[in-house]
Structures are given as structure tokens and as C-alpha cells.
Amino acid sequence: MNNYYTQNSQIESDSFSSLALEEVTTGQLIRNIRHEFIHWLKRRQTHKMLSQLSDRQLKDIGWYREGANFFPLHRFNQH
């Protein structure tokens, strides 16, 4: 059992070492986090806005509601 654990730890250690080869600067990391946060915020604000509209209004602006989710109408009209 101990040997199994040691082997797995070594495998995990090796994969972390290979990830470390692709160094990311703190600035890049902060930019990535900021980008992801802004993207999440835009989706959240869009969802809030769409949830206030009726199904007819949604259709008029090219969206439809499926449960608690919203999708653009053109998603299915691309064929």
C-alpha cells in the first residue's frame, strides 16, 4: 500500500514538474483571472437582463428561454 502511494505521489510530482516548465508570470495570471471574471460578469448581467423579458420579447431580440437558461435563436438556424 505504501509503495502504491509513493508511486502515485511521484507521478503527481512529475506532472506538476512538467507544468512548472510552462512558467506563467504573476502579471499573466492576474490578466487571465481578470479576463475570466469580466467574462463571467457579462454572462451574469446578460442573464439578469434576459430573465426580465417575456418569451415574446426574447423572440423579438433573437433569444429563447429553456428552463432557467437562455440561448440565441440563430444557434439552431445555421443549417
29-50: per-residue pLDDT in tens? 899 999 999 999 999 999 999 9
Long-range CB contacts (within 8 A, 24+) of 38-46 = 46/70
pTM beyond 0.85: the answer is no
pLDDT, averaged across the chain:
79
Map out the domains of the chain as residue ranges.
Answer: 26-79
Partners of 66 in the β-ladder: 69
More confident residue, 1 or 42: 42
- Residue 12: pLDDT band with limits 50, 70, 90: low
How high is the pLDDT of residue 79? 45
Instruction: Return the pLDDT at 21.
Output: 56
